[in-house]
Structure 1
Amino acid sequence: MRVVVRLIGLVLILQGLIACGSEEILDSADPANLQVELNIADDGSGKVEILATADNTVEYEFRLGNNPEPEERNTTGLFEYTFEISGNYEVEVRAVGASGRYLRSVIMFTIELASDNVTVDQGYTTPMHYDGWNLLWNDEFEGNAVNSDYWVFETGDGCPNLCGWGNNEWQYYRSQNAWVEDGVLTIEARRESVGNRNYTSARMKTQGKKSFQYGRIDIRALLPKGQGIWPALWMLGENITSVGWPACGEIDIMEMIGGSGRENQVHGTVHWDLDGQHVQAGGSYTLSSGTFADEYHVFSIIWNENLIRWFVNDIQYYQIDISPNHMTEFHEEHFFLFNVAVGGNWPGYPDATTVFPQQMKVDYIRVFQLADQ
């Protein structure tokens, strides 16, 4: 496990004695000489031990992040805590004297759990061939570059016509944030300033190169995590340039919004136009244990003239009837988009717990059509 520890000041930040009137030290009932030691377990378990010592102290308080209430109060000065998610964390330590005044130390550090190192052979996989189906197109992400015969990149922040990409997102898309190596496509979201944005990522699509109507689609991917992180594997109607959105139709094969324990759930959704209004429908799938960052999963749809069905690891979790006359969007060809957004109306925005960089890795995308079509 790589551990990064950053303390404000040297070992502690001492901001003077704080009380209702911010009086100076008056007597021996005031605490003094606060020292804080931090120890992070090197086994990738996420366990942290903080030891605080101070003179004239009757109680120690330990606060996590911006929580106004202490996670723990004690008289020993020893605080032990296990972080279950990798991230940047802040712990405030207070040494409280009999006078009610206190000294404060703020410690900032980064935790990366050992379970974060996932290899491509971990997780669920699907076959290259199915009985009754023909493999129509696939990208196994071989070689050392994104295949320009299949993919093009969208760049920028969506401005001036669609600033924030229609969702108040914070990232600036660049082709430099995506690469192919060891048979895997990686899309990386970073905390860096480009084009008046403080985050970068990548968004790639097959528009004008590969589009499809109906079939089975399998995408094997490892998802990122963290508050404000929003990976998506999705499709838009090829006619978007002439009819616009949502009249072109949108099929979200997989979306996940990170943070607050939401990394164990993915969503499948369709968007379309109904009498000039945007409407949508969809479902979600929740893992029985772990998160989608723990290992690779296969996100699939089976799409025909009557239904679209969504699957995770061959388990169906949602379907929608697309035969009504008001859903003609889903009987036209659609192209693929892969991206990792940072922030937005739906996921919310990165906070102190969000670790960067974050990566979505894709092992393959495969499109099958029924043999009799």
Structure 2
Amino acid sequence: MRICVLLFLCFCCLELSAQDKEWKLVWEEDFNGTELDESVWNYELGDGCPGLCGWGNNESQIYTKKNHRLHQGKLIITGRKEGSIYTSTRITTKAKKEFKYGKIEVRAQLPVGKGLWPAFWMLGSNIDEVKWPNCGEIDILEYVGKEPGMIFTSLHTKASHGNTLNTRKMRIKGIEEGFHTYTAQWTKDSISFYIDNELVYTFRPEQKTKETWPFDQPFYLIVNMAIGGNFGGPEIDDSALPQNFIIDYIKVYQ
């Protein structure tokens, strides 16, 4: 019994030390200005075809350069239905801003409506070489409008991907109201997720192999709002559109 208590206390100390670590801000995107800085951001356009039609999830939207704007220091991504076509925006920092370990935080306001799937996430920089899921994926924020009040934080690896076991689904009252912060604290040993500074999930595999821990390399950032698809759909509430996914800032500490 005493050993169990000691082990529990040691685990708590590890969590506290990670949370209380002196983090230094190394990069910040505050979206001041009139347009995205393309020395930092890439646009991913279209429907993913021919290489990844539906972006791998049977999503309904086409990504464009016209479904976002910068206003009063915020990035506003708008999901729309234009005739029979759904449109949105997806941007990444691939090959421009990539990070290995750190505290990665976004402050965002969620859209509301069935079929909407906003996300803030990361992919391993070696994705072109080893493909997904070998590259690893860190989902810091996922929300699907069909499940109001729920936030998903997940990790995808070769050993656990798609309907991953490495996930936590949290019901948070009022999460759709106003802005909230979503954070990943990523070290060489573990990845912990926080919502409004409250710990919700920690991933720390006992055995670290390429299959279980591809998180020992740089990753890049992705911001998007998908519509429909395997996770976001299948039902889309057209009457809820247009809807905005609003990003106040992104900060990376190390």
Q: Same fold (TM over 0.5)?
A: yes
Look up the match of 1:343: 228
Q: Would you say 1:355 and 2:245 are equivalent positions? A: no
* Structure with more of its chain in helix, by fraction: 2
Decide which of 239, 252, 255 is 2:126's aligned counterpart.
239
Do the aligned residues in 1 keep the contact of 2:133 with 2:161 (CA within 8 Å)? no
Q: Which amino acid aligns with 2:220?
A: F
Q: Which amino acid aligns with 2:109?
A: L
Looking at structure 1, the residues matched to 48 and 141 of structure 2 have their Cα atoms a distance apart, in angstroms, of 22
> Shift in Å at residue 252 of structure 1?
0.2
Q: Deviations over 1:83-119 (max 9, x none)?
A: xxxxxxxxxxxxxxxxxxxxxxxxxxxxxxxxxxxxx
Look up the match of 2:33: 143
Decide which of 270, 274, 278 is 2:155's aligned counterpart.
270
> Shift in Å at residue 285 of structure 1?
2.0
Structure 1 residues 345 and 315: CA distance shift in structure 2, 3 A: same
Q: Would you say 1:321 and 2:204 are equivalent positions? A: yes
* Structure with more of its chain in strand, by fraction: 1
Look up the match of 1:167: 57
Do the aligned residues in 2 keep the contact of 1:272 with 1:280 (CA within 8 Å)? no
Structure 1 residues 278 and 284: CA distance shift in structure 2, 3 A: closer
Unaligned runs of 5+ in 1: 1-129
Look up the match of 2:110: 223
Partner SS state of residue 325, structure 1: coil
Looking at structure 2, the residues matched to 241 and 308 of structure 1 have their Cα atoms a distance apart, in angstroms, of 23
Do the aligned residues in 2 keep the contact of 1:233 with 1:253 (CA within 8 Å)? yes
Decide which of 43, 67, 73 is 1:177's aligned counterpart.
67
TM superposition outliers: structure 1 runs of 4+ over 2 Å = 274-280, 322-328, 349-354
Do the aligned residues in 2 keep the contact of 1:307 with 1:323 (CA within 8 Å)? no
Looking at structure 2, the residues matched to 299 and 277 of structure 1 have their Cα atoms a distance apart, in angstroms, of 22
Q: Which amino acid aligns with 1:221?
A: A
Structure 1 residues 231 and 136: CA distance shift in structure 2, 3 A: same
Look up the match of 1:154: 44
Q: Would you say 1:299 and 2:186 are equivalent positions? A: no
> Shift in Å at residue 160 of structure 1?
1.2
Percent identity, aligned pairs only?
36
Q: Deviations over 1:209-251 (max 9, x none)?
A: 0010111111000010101100010000000010100000000
Do the aligned residues in 2 keep the contact of 1:186 with 1:359 (CA within 8 Å)? yes
Look up the match of 2:90: 203
Structure 1 residues 220 and 325: CA distance shift in structure 2, 3 A: same
Q: Which amino acid aligns with 1:136?
A: V
| Larger Rg computed on CA atoms | 1
Do the aligned residues in 2 keep the contact of 1:145 with 1:181 (CA within 8 Å)? no
Partner SS state of residue 154, structure 2: strand
Q: Which amino acid aligns with 1:253?
A: I
> Shift in Å at residue 274 of structure 1?
2.8
Q: Deviations over 1:265-317 (max 9, x none)?
A: 11000001139999551102211x32x33110000011101110011000001
Do the aligned residues in 2 keep the contact of 1:246 with 1:278 (CA within 8 Å)? no
Larger relative CO (CA 8 A, sep 6+): 1 or 2?
2
Q: Give TM-score scaled by structure 1 length.
A: 0.60
Do the aligned residues in 2 keep the contact of 1:305 with 1:322 (CA within 8 Å)? no
Q: Which amino acid aligns with 1:311?
A: Y
Q: Which amino acid aligns with 2:153?
A: G
Q: Deviations over 1:129-165 (max 9, x none)?
A: x872211111011011111121010000011121111
